[in-house]
Chains A and B, each alone.
Chain A
Amino acid sequence: MSAGLEIINLTKRFERGTPNEKTALDSLCLTVPAGEFVTVLGSNGAGKSTLFNAILGKFRPDHGRIILDGEDITAMRDYRRALNIGCLYQDPMRGTAPHMTIEENLALAYTRKAGRSFFAVNKKDSARFRELLSSFGMGLEDRMKTPMGLLSGGQRQAASLLMSTIAEPKLLLLDEHTAALDPEAARKVLGITKRIVSEQRITTLMITHDMGMALSCGSRTIMMDSGRIVLDISGAERDAATPASLAAMFSERAHEGLSDRTMLSM
């Protein structure tokens, strides 16, 4: 199987040369085969979001390379690499334009892969959006002309999820994308996520603070601490793991303990 995402010796120090210097990523190496769904655990400040931001091109790393589907994207501008990377954050507001309609938001997100058309919103694409939205079972397909800002958090996150996967990215990054939702909406959005990822076979990294969720989603779980990967389990070892055994394994290898949120979710 070819490598979907390859991260080699990635290092990033913030506020270098000051007393506040912090090593956010410490010679991190990670190879994710194409189509694999990896869940990412770690305490606050372990470098999970920094890793995502490095992959997204929000900053340039001090050392190391990032290779997506065989292409070195380390020096690529952020909006260029977004052609093949979808991303979803905890805050549903981040991924959508509140004063534009659902239809317009989707059309904009689809721009990177859409065919040529004079108007951004056109019948053919809209029919496709409607069909995909109706498969969510959240009633969004009847609200295509509604401004995004009027939707609930769950609806907005579901729409953002469609926006970030509509262009069939090679890589999907999920940064606690269900953490800010109510339990019912979180369950729904997670279900849709799993379905889209398995249907499109997208290489996926999902950050979570929920051990149960980390083990029930995807086929591999990694744990980060102080900018390094301290635990990487898959297959039988992972199948046998429970949230409690995972927590025990983690505290054995990590400098810092798990966050309160992780412990509470067990």
Chain B
Amino acid sequence: MELLLSALSQGLLYAPMALGVFVAFRILNTPDLTIDGSMVFGMSVCAAVTIAGHPVLALFAGALAGALAGLVTGLLQTALRINPILAGILTMTGLYTVNFSVLGRQANVYLQSGQPPVASATVYRSFQALFPDGTNPNLPVAVLTAVIVACVCAAMCVFFRTRPGMAIRATGDNEEMVRSSSINADGARIAGVMLSNALVALTGSLLCQQQRYADIDSGSGMLVVGLASVIIGQVFARRGGVTLGAVSAVLGSVLYRLIIQIAYSLQLPSYWVKLLSAVIVALALAAPVVSQRLRESRLEREEAAGYERRA
């Protein structure tokens, strides 16, 4: 139960990031490596605004920061025609400096201010106060995050049915068709990358307020985590609409955390998590190819056996 609740709250915290990765990889059909950087950018900006005393505004500011990072990557991809993977790496690398400055030229920041330090108000702290003393701290986190994720997910699904949203989907599917429909495909692509990174930065912001600190290194490997969530989610919806895909990305995020929690409970040291994530993604991506090969070689064996019998 403890383990489940912990996996649920963690999974929901990382769900917006999974949605962001879903938008980049599945809808825009373009790998985006900005994600590792924009997640920390969201976290740092959120930390700065939270410390200044505006916890709710901080979440929006964090997401906006991510959108800004997406804007840079989007412009590099479209206006300057830089390879999407390289464009993402460039933004991510540049963001390290920006994040370091936002964190006050240090590697990490606790959400506190004044002398002696007083803990800053966060949305999670305020929400936790509504629950009786002695409640599992993961419960309020899970409930509040679930509400936020549900709103974000619903808004996203509605958006992808509007004309601008559909233009983004079509840009990922057939960019030429979008241009010949007299729609600015570059604009649609930039908007898509911005949305994707805003979602990723929202996870950074939520994490910042939940764990009460921001850390410059917390973004590394996030792309793989997001991809793992999207791929695990695909088990539920192989090929479906945007809504189904988005919901399964959220589910995938929770399942991924459950797998990680189980690994922890088996005494796996925490530094193993990255390798585990990478292996999960590699296995999931390889699965269709491997099963195809196995099927082919089985058919081939049967075919050969039948030939021998006849001969």
Nearest Cβ on chain A to B193's Cβ, whole angstroms: 18
Within 8 A of A (CB), among B246-282: none
Residue interface mask A73-112, B partner, CB < 8 A = 1: 0000011111100110000011111111000110111011
Q: How far is the CA of A99 from the CA of B185 in the complex (A)?
A: 17
- Say if the beta carbon of B292 comes within 8 Å of chain A: no
**Which of A83, A108, A118 counts the most chain B CB atoms within 10 A?**
A108
Instruction: Describe B's contact surface by its main secondary structure.
Output: helix
- Say if the beta carbon of B93 comes within 8 Å of chain A: no
Nearest Cβ on chain A to B175's Cβ, whole angstroms: 9
Within 8 A of A (CB), among B144-195: 161-163, 165-167, 169-170, 173-174, 176-185
Nearest Cβ on chain B to A161's Cβ, whole angstroms: 13
**Range for the number of chain A residues in contact with chain B:** 20 to 34
**Which of A87, A93, A119, A120 counts the most chain B CB atoms within 10 A?**
A120
Nearest Cβ on chain B to A196's Cβ, whole angstroms: 17
* Pair A100/B183 contact, Cβ less than 8 Å: no
Instruction: Describe A's contact surface by its main secondary structure.
Output: loop
* Pair B177/A97 contact, Cβ less than 8 Å: yes
Residue of B nearest to A118 (CB): B162
Nearest Cβ on chain A to B182's Cβ, whole angstroms: 4
Q: How far is the CA of A164 from the CA of B170 in the complex (A)?
A: 15
* Pair A120/B174 contact, Cβ less than 8 Å: no
Residue of A nearest to B166 (CB): A120
Q: How far is the CA of A96 from the CA of B23 in the complex (A)?
A: 20
Q: How far is the CA of A120 from the CA of B173 in the complex (A)?
A: 17
Q: How far is the CA of A121 from the CA of B165 in the complex (A)?
A: 11
For B174, give its contact among A56, A96, A111, A119 (CB under 8 Å): A96
Q: How far is the CA of A119 from the CA of B164 in the complex (A)?
A: 10
Residue of A nearest to B29 (CB): A99
Nearest Cβ on chain A to B116's Cβ, whole angstroms: 52
* Pair B173/A112 contact, Cβ less than 8 Å: no
Q: How far is the CA of A80 from the CA of B182 in the complex (A)?
A: 6
Q: How far is the CA of A86 from the CA of B179 in the complex (A)?
A: 11
For A104, what are the chain B residues with a Cβ–Cβ distance below 8 Å? 166, 169-170
What count of chain B residues pass the 8 Å CB interface test? Answer: 20
With contacts A120-B162, A120-B163, A121-B161 known, is A82 near B170, CB below 8 A? no
**Which of B166, B178, B181 counts the most chain A CB atoms within 10 A?**
B181
Nearest Cβ on chain B to A45's Cβ, whole angstroms: 22
* Pair A112/B181 contact, Cβ less than 8 Å: yes
* Pair B181/A78 contact, Cβ less than 8 Å: no
Residue of A nearest to B239 (CB): A99
For A107, what are the chain B residues with a Cβ–Cβ distance below 8 Å? 163, 166
For A95, what are the chain B residues with a Cβ–Cβ distance below 8 Å? 176-177, 180
* Pair B163/A111 contact, Cβ less than 8 Å: yes
Within 8 A of B (CB), among A113-168: 114, 117-121, 163-164, 167
* Pair B181/A109 contact, Cβ less than 8 Å: yes
* Pair B162/A99 contact, Cβ less than 8 Å: no
* Pair A94/B176 contact, Cβ less than 8 Å: yes
For B183, give its contact among A94, A111, A163 (CB under 8 Å): A111
* Pair A82/B163 contact, Cβ less than 8 Å: no
For B163, what are the chain A residues with a Cβ–Cβ distance below 8 Å? 107-108, 111, 114, 117, 120
For A167, what are the chain B residues with a Cβ–Cβ distance below 8 Å? 182
* Pair A79/B179 contact, Cβ less than 8 Å: yes
With contacts A79-B185, A97-B174, A98-B174 known, is A120 near B161, CB below 8 A? yes
Q: How far is the CA of A18 from the CA of B181 in the complex (A)?
A: 36
For A97, what are the chain B residues with a Cβ–Cβ distance below 8 Å? 169-170, 173-174, 177-178
* Pair B173/A100 contact, Cβ less than 8 Å: yes
* Pair A108/B183 contact, Cβ less than 8 Å: yes
For B176, what are the chain A residues with a Cβ–Cβ distance below 8 Å? 94-95
Q: How far is the CA of A198 from the CA of B285 in the complex (A)?
A: 51
For A93, what are the chain B residues with a Cβ–Cβ distance below 8 Å? 174
For B169, what are the chain A residues with a Cβ–Cβ distance below 8 Å? 97, 100, 104
* Pair B170/A163 contact, Cβ less than 8 Å: no
Q: How far is the CA of A97 from the CA of B167 in the complex (A)?
A: 11
* Pair B161/A87 contact, Cβ less than 8 Å: no
With contacts A98-B173, A100-B173 known, is A112 near B166, CB below 8 A? no
Residue of B nearest to A96 (CB): B177
For A164, what are the chain B residues with a Cβ–Cβ distance below 8 Å? 180
For B181, what are the chain A residues with a Cβ–Cβ distance below 8 Å? 82, 108-109, 111-112, 163
Residue of B nearest to A94 (CB): B176
Sample (23) of A-B pairs whose CB atoms are under 8 Å apart: A78-B179, A79-B178, A79-B180, A80-B182, A86-B180, A93-B174, A94-B174, A97-B170, A97-B173, A97-B174, A100-B170, A100-B173, A104-B166, A105-B177, A107-B163, A108-B163, A108-B178, A111-B167, A111-B181, A114-B163, A119-B162, A120-B162, A121-B166
Known: A97-B173, A111-B183. 17 other contacts (CB 8 A): A79-B180, A79-B183, A82-B180, A83-B182, A87-B180, A99-B173, A100-B166, A100-B173, A104-B170, A107-B163, A108-B163, A108-B170, A108-B183, A112-B182, A112-B183, A121-B161, A167-B182
A interface with B by C-beta (< 8 Å): 56, 78-83, 86-87, 93-100, 104-105, 107-109, 111-112, 114, 117-121, 163-164, 167
Task: State the 3 A-B residue pairs at the shortest beta-carbon distance, nearest first.
Answer: A97-B173, A82-B182, A112-B182
